[in-house]
Structures are given as structure tokens and as C-alpha cells.
Structure 1
Amino acid sequence: MTKRKGSFRASVSCLAALCLLAGCVTTPMTQRKALMLISLDQEMALGLQAYREVLSQSKISDNPDWNRLVRKVGERIARVSDMPRLPWEFKVIVSDEKNAFCLPGGKVAVYTGILPVAQTEAGLAAILGHEVAHAVARHAGERMSQALLVNLGLTVADLSLQNNQHRGLILAAMGVGASVGVLLPYSRLHEAEADEIGTLYMAKAGYDPREAVLLWQRFAKEGGPRPPAFLSTHPAPESRVEELQKIVERAWKEYEKAPEKLGRGETIPLS
């Protein structure tokens, strides 16, 4: 028993030392401390690999209006984000799924099924702000770091999509299923943080942050017995709208300081 206790204490001490050596990163806007055991370069390389795989298995939209608006809104948000120099890329994927994602390194995709819910540039800004926030806050890197701690046989050197043994775990940490095209939810903490940071970003980019509340209300109406994947890990719509309204009060100050105010922006053409 004493030997086991000593071994356990040693393991805990090693993990604690590892955490201290690795240090913490501070997420923008929320100032939350997060453990990060991998470098941004590693995270970006994995994100690029996964992004290429997703795109290779997807149909990319050739609709000029959709591509223009997604790029326009995405680039405006990227410019005001805390990582404007990432190699941001915005694609539109043809799919009925009401979803969007951003992989590490700024690789973003919007599914055409979400466009009718977005309705306007501002609705799109709420969606893209949320996704950009995941990348800037390094939520995927944080989840990979947690995986390194939990899976003692996994090391930083194993973090490659070419490593079949750990491929599923790495993809899951980035929010992508083992079959690549399937999106997996982030934790509620990460989703709530992305809501907050994303709403602030859309306001700084010149989009009326009140439209974020309206967007999520539209999502709630779409819910029925099975809510859209985009809402899968969030609180009940009522409490979520309440939290967003608190965020909007802060975001409105950013909107008032924006050099160019676009309000709701253009309406997204659906044909």
C-alpha cells in the first residue's frame, strides 16, 4: 500500500511539474488561464492537415455571392481578432448541415445549410466570430494538452495525423470525428467562451452585436426534438440568450468604437 501511495504521489508530482514547466496561456478577452503543452506551430500544422482532408472529401461551393460574403465577413473578423496574422482561410461547403468550423491555424468552413439561419452579414459574423474565437483561444490545443495528461502513453511527438494509433484522439481534440467529415462538439466552457469572444469580435468588426442574440433565437426555433449540431453542447436556449444579452452590453461599447459600422450588412441571397 505504501509503495502504491508513493508511486501515485510521484505521478501526481510529475504531472504538476509538467504543468508548471509548460506554463499557462491566457485566453484573449476572457483572461482565463489554460494549460498548453503544445506549440502554436504544432497546432497549426495539425489543423492544416485536417482541413485539407475535410476539403478533399467535401463539395466546395462555387456560388460567387456566398463565397464573397463569407470571405468578406471572415476577413473583417480575423483582422480585429487577437491573431490577425494567422493564415486565415474561409471556404463554403455544400451541405444541408447547419454548421461551421474553424480548425487550428485559422482554417474556417461554413456549411451552406447554415446560411438561411444566418440571413445577413451580421448573422454570419456571429457564426464566424464564434468559430474564429475557438482558434484564437486555442481550444483545440488545450484539449490536446488535456489528452496528453490523461493518456500517459501519448507524447507531443505522437501528435501527427499520420500516427494511426492516436489519429482519432487528435482529430477529436480539434473537433473533427475520426471519419473527418463529422464535427464533434467542444465543451460547454469552450463554447461559452467562444460565444463571448466571438460577439466582441463581430462588434469590433462593425457588425451590430444584438444580431447575435437574434441568430441564436432563430437557432432555438430550428431545434425541435433534436437541436442543430451547432447548439449541441450549449445550455438551454433561454439561459443562453440571457448570457448573450449580458455579453452584448459589453460588445456594444466595441461596436460604438468601430471605425466602420455595417449594422446588419447585406442580406445573404439564398438562390
Structure 2
Amino acid sequence: MRLIALAFICFALLCSPVAASAQDASPYRKLQALDGQLATIGYRLATANAPLCDRLDGATGLQLHDIAQYRDRAAIDGVFAFESPVEVEAVVPGSPGQAAGIAPGDALATIGVGAAATPIAAFADGLEEDPYSRIQRIADLFATARAAGASIRLELLRAGQPLSFTLAPVPACAGRFQLLIKDGLDAGGGGSAQMVNVNLPLVQYALEDGGGNGEGELAAVVAHELAHNILHHHERLNAVDIDRGPLRGFGKNGRRIRATEEEADRLSVWLLANAGYDPAGAVRFWTRFGKEHGQGLFTEGTHYRWQKRVAQIEEEIAALPSAETRGIARVPPILTHPLPPLE
């Protein structure tokens, strides 16, 4: 989660001062639950589609947060213990972290890979400039361990009791999933850490689907952003000197970005299906979003109008194999040949 202040969270989560005074009703607890849900969706998509990805992370199912993220330390007293500067915020069901017995609230003391053991304090450089740098370094270490086929030894603190766990990260498409405490129905990705960021209002909007399909709709958003990473869109757009300023939606800039958006929409269908989500969730989300926010960011010159996007997604769904191949990721046509140049 992003650097946050209590006042904004209370506003964003529509909490009351009375409700926020109880630990279980704290806006931070509500935010923790949403971040855990996002992490679970991301883990499911990234691990199921690992065979399709040329860049891999080591997934543990541990969603971490850092005390450096919190401006108002007093506001988290009694909510998060932070027995060390880095704590387990959430554990994805069915992940190596859960299988090892790690629980939310466990605090990281030392991380060992091979013969080396590194205390959490050693990851503190640069925190003043980027409060997420320590978590990114830990995630990089997990990825290194997976690539080497090595297990990770974690020395943790739980209510003052030292505990030791060993787990093996599993292959996952490169993508680190993060809830942003930021205005706007927006999401994004890319960068050197292959982030997949979803703003809090968009997470809430996706989950509020009255038909009970909120998780599937949020998965559609996450799959779209993960598809951008898998298809190297950030690098490909940089290679053609894309203008990301006010004129990004016009001329060749708009045409190039629209091409990447269509590619991400189409690939997202396959990512969803491989992870066991109903790809029709993407149709439901973009139809609902288009009707209610059709003139917003997602339909400026960098994106097709929602009706065309939905038609392209439905076309891709029709191309899915009729019978699922159990345990084998279905390979979409977009990954079977070189991508066309962004002209």
C-alpha cells in the first residue's frame, strides 16, 4: 500500500471517528483486507500464467508492508505491532507462505538465502526517498532465490516470540501488486519493478458489483495491467519516444498507446482463463464502467471507446479453446509470434 495518512483513509473508506476508534473497525484494517484481496488476485494470475512469461519473480504469497509507509505512526498504534520495520500484512491462501505457517502480523527479522543471512536493517538504504525500497529489495531477493532454485529462511517475531520458517518461492510472472491510496478510477503498471498499481477508488468500484462478481471484475483490471508488463509495453513505448504529456492522446502517440491497450485487453482474456477466472468478468467490468464513466480517463484518445473494447474482448473470448487443458496454461495467439512494431 502507498504512503498514507489517516484522514484520507477515513474519507476514502467512509469511516466514522467512532468506528475508527476500535481496532477491528480501523480504516487501516479495512485497507489491509483490500490489499490482501488484491495480492491474492495478483498471485493467482501471476503464478497460473508463469509459463507464458519471459520475466519471472519468486512468489511467496506474503504481502509485506513497511513502517516507513505510515506518516502518522500514532494512528497505527494498536492496529499493527511492527515488532520489526517490516511486517506481513497478508498471506495469500494456498501460497508457500501459508503452507509454511506464516501469519499476518509476523515481523521479519532476518532473511536467509543459501549460506547468507541478511537482517532487515540492512535493507534500509534510500527509505527517505522511497518508503517502498526495502520491500522491493526483499522481493528482489525472493526472485533471486527462485531463479537459483534455493529456499528462503525467514526469522520472524510473533508477539515477541522468535520463529523460523523455510519456504520455496514459486515461479510467477514479474509483477508486484500494490493498492494506491490515490484519487481517481485508475490503474497502471510498468517500471523496473514491474509494478501493478490499482487506485483505492477503482478497487472499491470493481468490488461493489451488485451481481456478486466483484472479485472477477477486479481480476479483469489486474489482468489488463499485468498484460502490459508481460508484453513489455513500457519499454516498447519508450523505444519509440512516446509523448506521455498532454498530447499523448493525439496523432501517432494516441495510435501507439491504443495499440498497446488493445493488446493488453486481448491478452487479459487468456490470463483470466488460465487463472480460473471467468473472462466474461472483463466484459461485465468494461460495460459497467463504460456506461457510468464512459467519458473518463479510460476512453480518452489513448483508449478505444468502451463499446469497441468490449467487442474486442468478446472476440478474444470466442477464440479461447472450448475445452480447458488441465494444469497447462493456454497460450494466446498474441504470444505465438513477434508483436508488430508500434507505428
The interval holding the TM-score normalised by the smaller chain is: 0.5 to 0.7
Give the secondary-structure state (helix, strand or coil) at the position aligned to 1:187: helix
The Cα shift of 1:199 comes to 1.5
**SS of the residue 1:92 aligns to:** strand
Partner of residue 118, structure 1: 206
Q: 1:253 to 1:77 in 2, by over 3 A?
A: farther
Structure 2: distance between partners of 1:220 and 1:88: 26
* Runs of at least 5 residues in structure 2 that lack an aligned partner in the other structure: 10-26, 58-173, 208-213, 249-253, 329-343
More strand by share: 2
Of the three residues 188, 199, 220, the one matched with 2:258 is 188
Deviation at 1:258, TM superposition (A): 5.5
Deviation at 1:95, TM superposition (A): 2.6
Q: Secondary structure at the match of 1:194?
A: helix
Task: List 4+ stretches of structure 1 deviating above 3 A.
Answer: 54-62, 251-254, 256-260
Which structure carries more helix by proportion?
Answer: 1
1:85 pairs with 2:56: yes
Counterpart in the other structure of 1:50:
none
Distance (Å, rounded) in 2 between the aligned partners of 1:258 and 1:128: 23
User: Structure 2 CA distance, aligned partners of 1:78 and 1:99?
Assistant: 21
Deviations 1:56-114 (CA, angstroms, capped at 9, x unpaired):
69989941221111001111111214336235321111233111111134211111111
Asked if the contact 2:269/2:282 (under 8 Å) is kept, the reply is: yes
User: Equivalences for 1:104-115 in 2 at 5 Å?
Assistant: 104=191, 105-115=193-203
Whether the 8 Å CA contact 2:265–2:309 is kept in 1: the answer is: no
Give the TM-score, by structure 1 length. Answer: 0.55
1:49-198 counterparts in 2 under 5 A? 55=2, 62=28, 63-79=31-47, 80-81=49-50, 82-83=52-53, 85-86=56-57, 87-104=174-191, 105-119=193-207, 120-147=214-241, 172=244, 187-198=257-268
**Residue 238 (1) aligns with residue 209 (2):** no
The answer (yes or no) to whether the contact 1:205–1:258 under 8 Å persists in 2 is no
* Structure with larger RCO (C-alpha < 8 A, sep 6+): 1
Partner of 2:139: none
Matched length: 173
Taking every aligned residue pair, what percent have the same amino acid on both sides?
25
Q: Considering only aligned residues, what root-mean-square deviation do their CA atoms show, in Å? A: 3.3
Q: Tell me the equivalent position of 1:203.
A: 273
Larger radius of gyration: 2
| Cα distance change, pair 118–252 in 1 and its aligned pair in 2 (3 A) | farther
Q: 1:208 to 1:215 in 2, by over 3 A?
A: same
The answer for unaligned runs of 5 or more in structure 1 is: 1-53, 151-168, 178-183, 261-271
Alignment TM-score, normalising by the size of structure 2:
0.44
When residues 103 and 185 of structure 1 are mapped into structure 2, their CA distance, relative to the original with a 3 A threshold, is farther
